[in-house]
Chain A
Amino acid sequence: MRLGLVGNPNVGKSLIFHQLTGIGVEVSNYPGTTVDLMKGNLCFKHEKLELVDLPGIYSLEGNSPEEVMVRTFIQEKEAEVLIAVLDATHLERNLYLFLQLAEFGKPLIAVLNIMDEAAKQGIEIDTAKLSSILGVEVIPVAAVTGMNVAEIIPAALFRARIPAVQVPYDHHIEAAIRSIQSVHPATRLQALQALQGIGTDPETNSLVEALGPEIEEMHRMTIVQIIAGNRHHRAEAIADLVSSDRGDAHPDSLDSLLTSRRSGPIILVAILLSILVSVFLIGSFIEEFLVGVFEMLVISPFSALPLDPLFRQLGLSLLLALQAGLGIALPFIFTFYFFISILEDSGYLTRAAFLADRAMHRLGMHGQGLVPLILGFGCNVPAIMGIRLLRTRRERVIASFLVSMVPCSARTVIVAGIVAVFIGLPAALSIYAITLGLVILTGLVLSRITPGEQYGMILELAPLRVPRIGNILSKSWYRIREFLFIAMPLLILASLVLGLLQYAGFFSLFQQWITPWSEAVLGLPGYATTALLFGILRKEMALETLVILAGTADLPSVMSLAQIYIFAVVSVLFIPCISTIGVLAKVVGARITLLVSLYTLILGLLIGAIINLVIV
């Protein structure tokens, strides 16, 4: 038996989900989409149940990927019982979604969460009355303290009912529903969906084409707007009936400081910079330690084993891949996502998006585009996944270019590993400056030439609160999963291929061919360009390959400082790694992926060549 949790964002669904299922959560994509679905199992009286945490949504009739997915999930009867989670401190808007949910006619129960906070704000809710109006059981819950959480499953199993509450729509809408039904057998829900342009039945849709414009003209509003208005009206009426005066929340002085036009942007830049610097420092420290330990405990003993050269090569490639993955994943990516999760859980990330709205408009996106750009500093793979929260294709296309150019942890490893060590910190920072400058320039140009319309940001500011460490760790883990399960396998595979190529002598062949070009254009020795090529498979592998091909880790003995600098710049800029390309193809399609790859390739070579001309 399967149960589904449905509700607005920030109503505590995930907390309830984790309390009910404990550990062992499986995250998967809903078939045919890139929307994440959390599933967990629990046992109740020796019966195994599956609980699905659906993404937080504002409406069941919208067209964002999450909303479409939840709608399909509910319509396809993928869960026997639904658990609607409502926020007691914002009952009215939560009832809006509930009223939509009620129209689907599925058995459900309502969980009135955040009762503790409501009591603090002096809001009293008559749950018995609410239950009789809605026609389903209503359980008052405080997930934070665990109050009544144990009641949820028994109620869902034995007392779930189809809600009785119905929205009385404007009489033109009701008349349209009746006339659709009189011509063609359709449920109330199907008729309503057709009226809002999301119907699936062609015959009903064609009826609406005739009815719709007349209603819209009469009201001088779209049908969607009329229906939404009616629902809000009903939600408001119900909320008024069952709850005491809504205590008006006092304006939060911290919040006004964070979002004010004077101090807000300064605080934002300070926070982001200090996160980047901390990750750089903490990451380098832990990485050195981890790589050292791995070298000592695994690689050295392996190298000492008497093995066939082919197996030795393959085994070594595999171990090196693991070492590199470990050296990046834990120190850099995890640390980075740990900080970002703090920002997210405290509610600051939404404020950051708001503050960045102006700057992001210049780049052809809006405030929400900031989030994937920031995530990109950790690893581009989850950042590209994050592009989905931009609503138009134009914004996604622009974001896919920009995110792919953001220097991720692997590129940080190169910059930290050779530029900071051999040339100095200012040189390392100058590479960041060049990259960010190019990101901005690219954004400025793309915002002019990318076709398509742009809609602005509509973003609910999450409530400011003290983040919970458990949540932060699980979120960081959730994000790094994408690196471990999408990027890592490719990384290991790429390492093996590389090992084989090296074994087959491909390197020297390629090197002979590329050397004249390489020296002419970039001023780099042939082996350095060969190393760059393998950076496509894995960014930081460019560095390892370089060390292997140069035959020494003391690079200044074989390359000039200018060559090292050019090598770092080109490897940071050019072509995203193969894992990023894979995710790009999934999110924005093959054509854009190809364009992004070509663009970054040309950009990398061009900038490298320019620096070569200028410095040498």
Chain B
Amino acid sequence: MKTSAREDLLEALCILSRTKPEPPTISDLSDHLSRTPEEIRGHLSTMQDQGDLRLLSGDRVELTPEGSRIGNQVAKKHQVLECFLSDILGMDRGTASEEACILEHDISDEALDRLDRYMSRPGKRWRRGKHEKSSLPTLLDYPAGSDLKVSSVKCPGGCQRLFDMGIVPGEQVRLVTTLDNKAMVIHVKGFDIAISPEIASCIFVERAE
């Protein structure tokens, strides 16, 4: 059995056992990983012999402390990588998650540790990025009729209403019309929403493919 398959299973078990109080079942696992139960059953018995987990009655699976440690480690790697790929490199959430699934098995602990620290100190490492931020395109920079994707929203006043209306990173918006002062109507989740220019200036976007 490959290490990546083992790590994937441990990661899945960790995530599944967080959502529910009772241990996950084999069918939960097969749903989560999109594999057949037979395939999973084979791997699980090997892993039980290695001491990663215990198979319980009713097809339930419980992690041993060691299995849980490895699973959590992989899950953390996945999260850090996905965060990096989507939030910083601007990849689509879904693709970032798939990519993270591949990378998480090979990245060294040190590289991951440094990446994690790099991302948790945006103030220090992002000075250059911050400088660029002012030149990142916002809704104000596109003409009416553009199909756009929200990359981030930075509202000084905490624009909860924008988030509630679905203007969150990754969301597709269409710029329907603009006025002379750049007040605009955008189309989000099937609704037309009118916003003032100062609000539009805090919604950073890029062209949707």
**CB of B87 within 8 Å of the partner chain:** yes
Q: Which A residue sits closest to B178, measured CB to CB?
A: A261
Q: Contact between A353 and B83 (Cβ–Cβ < 8 Å)?
A: no
CB neighbours (8 Å) of A507 from chain B are none
Q: A90-B190, A96-B164, A458-B161 are in contact. Are A220 and B122 (CB under 8 A)?
A: yes
Contact B199 A456 (CB under 8 A): yes
B160 contacts A461, C-beta separation under 8 Å: no
Determine which of A214, A256, A454, A460 lies in contact with B177 in the assembled complex, contact meaning CB atoms within 8 Å: A256
Q: Which residue of A lies closest to B195 (CB)?
A: A458
Interface 1/0 per residue, A415-455 and B, CB below 8 Å: 00000000000000000000000000000000000000111
Which of B62-70, B102-110, B165-173 touches A? B165-173
CA separation between A12 and B195, bound complex, in Å? 24
Contacts of B152 in A (CB 8 A): 220-221
The CA of A358 and the CA of B93, in the complex, are separated in Å by 36
Contact of A225 among B153, B156, B196, B198 (CB under 8 A): B153
Residue-by-residue, is A40-76 near B (CB-CB < 8 Å gives 1, otherwise 0)? 0000000000000000001101111000000000000
Is B198 in contact with A357, judged by CB distance below 8 angstroms?
no
> Is B199 touching A455 in the complex (CB atoms < 8 A)?
yes
**Does any Cβ of A come within 8 Å of B208's Cβ?**
no
Instruction: Say which residue of B157, B179, B180 sits within 8 Å of A453 (CB atoms).
Output: B157
With A174-B18, A224-B163 in contact, is A457–B168 under 8 Å at CB? no
* Interface presence of A217 (CB below 8 A): yes
CB pair A259 B177 closer than 8 Å: yes
Q: Distance (Å) between the CB of A145 and the closest chain B CB?
A: 22
The reply to whether the CB of B135 lies closer than 8 angstroms to some CB of chain A is: no
Q: Which of A61, A454, A456 contacts B160 (CB 8 A)?
A: A61
Q: What's the nearest-Cβ distance from chain A to residue B154, in Å? A: 9
Docked-complex contact A460 and B165, CB < 8 angstroms:
yes
Contact residues of A between 361 and 378, Cβ < 8 Å to B: 361, 366-367
Q: Does B183 contact A (CB under 8 A)?
A: yes
- B-side contacts of A59, CB under 8 Å: 160-161, 164
Q: If A58-B161, A366-B196 touch, does A220 touch B189 (CB 8 Å cutoff)? A: no
Which residues in window 454-499 of A have CB below 8 A to B? Answer: 454-461
Closest Cβ–Cβ distance, residue B168 to chain A (whole Å): 4
Q: Which positions 80-115 of chain B face chain A at CB distance < 8 Å?
A: 83, 87-88, 93
What is the CA–CA distance of A23 and B117 in the complex, to the nearest angstrom?
63
A18 within 8 A of B: no
A90 touches B189 (CB 8 A): yes
B38 at the interface (CB under 8 A from A): no
Q: Is A229 close to B, CB under 8 A?
A: yes
By a CB distance below 8 angstroms, the chain A residues around B196 are: 357, 361, 366-367, 456-458
Give how many A residues have a beta carbon under 8 Å from the other chain's beta carbons: 57
Partner of A93, one of B190, B194, B195, B200: B190
A500 to chain B, nearest CB (A): 51
Distance (whole angstroms) from the CB of A261 to the closest CB of chain B: 5
State the CA gap A246–B164 with chains docked (Å): 20
From B88, B158, B183, B191, give the contact of A222 (CB < 8 A).
Answer: B158
Q: Which residues of B are found within 8 Å of A233, using beta-carbon distances?
A: 93
* Given A220-B122, A358-B180, A361-B181, A459 and B194 contact (CB-CB distance below 8 Å): yes
B47 at the interface (CB under 8 A from A): no
Indicate whether A93 sits within 8 Å of B191 (C-beta atoms), given known contacts A221-B152, A232-B168, A458-B199.
yes
- Specify which of A62, A217, A219, A260 is in contact with B164 (CB 8 Å cutoff): A62
Total contacting residues, chain B, CB less than 8 A: 51
Does A120 make an interface contact (CB < 8 A)?
A: no
Indicate if B75 sits at the interface (CB-CB under 8 A).
yes
How far in angstroms is the closest Cβ of chain B from A255? 8
Q: Is A228 an interface residue (CB 8 A)?
A: yes
Bound-state CA distance A171–B80 (Å) is 11
Question: What residues on B are CB-neighbors of A366 within 8 Å?
Answer: 196
User: Which A residues lie within 8 Å of B194 (CB)?
Assistant: 350-351, 353-354, 357, 367, 457-461
CB contacts (< 8 Å) of B171 on chain A: these are 232
Q: Is the CB of A460 within 8 A of B190?
A: no
If the complex has contacts A168-B19, A228-B168, A260-B177, are A455 and B159 also in contact, measured as CB distance less than 8 A?
yes
* A210 contacts chain B at the CB level, 8 A cutoff: no
Q: Which residue of B lies closest to A239 (CB)?
A: B189
B93, closest chain A residue (CB): A233
- Compute how far the CA of A259 lies from the CA of B193 in the bound complex, rounded to whole angstroms: 12
Q: Which of B88, B160, B166 contacts A62 (CB 8 A)?
A: B160
Instruction: Tell me whether B176 is interfacial, beta carbon within 8 Å.
Output: yes
User: Does B40 reach chain A (CB closer than 8 Å)?
Assistant: no
**Are B192 and A461 in contact, with the CB atoms below 8 A?**
yes
Contact A456 B198 (CB under 8 A): yes
B193 touches A458 (CB 8 A): yes
A277 within 8 A of B: no
Chain A residues positioned under 8 Å from B119 (CB to CB): 218, 220
CB distance from B12 to the nearest CB of A (A): 13
Question: In the complex, what residues of B have CB within 8 A of residue A260's CB?
Answer: 177
Knowing A93-B165, A228-B168, the reply to whether A460 touches B180 (Cβ < 8 A) is: no
- Whether A92 pairs with B190 at a CB distance below 8 angstroms is yes
Task: Across the interface, name the chain A residue whose C-beta is closest to B157.
Answer: A455
A contact residues around B180 at 8 Å (CB): 261, 358
Q: Is B55 an interface residue (CB 8 A)?
A: no
Q: Check B179 against A358 for contact (C-beta < 8 Å).
A: yes
Indicate whether A82 reaches chain B with its CB closer than 8 angstroms.
no
A230 to chain B, nearest CB (A): 9
> Closest approach, in angstroms, between the C-beta of B151 and any C-beta of chain A?
11
Please tell me if the beta carbons of B162 and A355 are within 8 angstroms of each other in the complex. no
Q: Would you call B197 an interface residue if the criterion is a C-beta within 8 Å of the partner chain's C-beta atoms?
A: yes
> B190 contacts A249, CB within 8 Å?
yes
Listed A/B pairs (10) with beta-carbon separation below 8 Å: A92-B190, A217-B120, A232-B166, A232-B171, A261-B179, A264-B179, A361-B181, A457-B196, A458-B165, A458-B199
Known: A225-B168, A358-B179. 11 other contacts (CB 8 A): A64-B161, A96-B166, A214-B120, A228-B164, A229-B170, A246-B190, A249-B190, A256-B176, A259-B177, A367-B196, A461-B193
A: residues with CB less than 8 A from B are 58-59, 61-64, 89-90, 92-93, 96-97, 168, 171-172, 174, 214, 217-222, 224-225, 228-229, 232-233, 246, 249, 251, 255-256, 259-261, 264, 350-351, 353-355, 357-358, 361, 366-367, 453-461
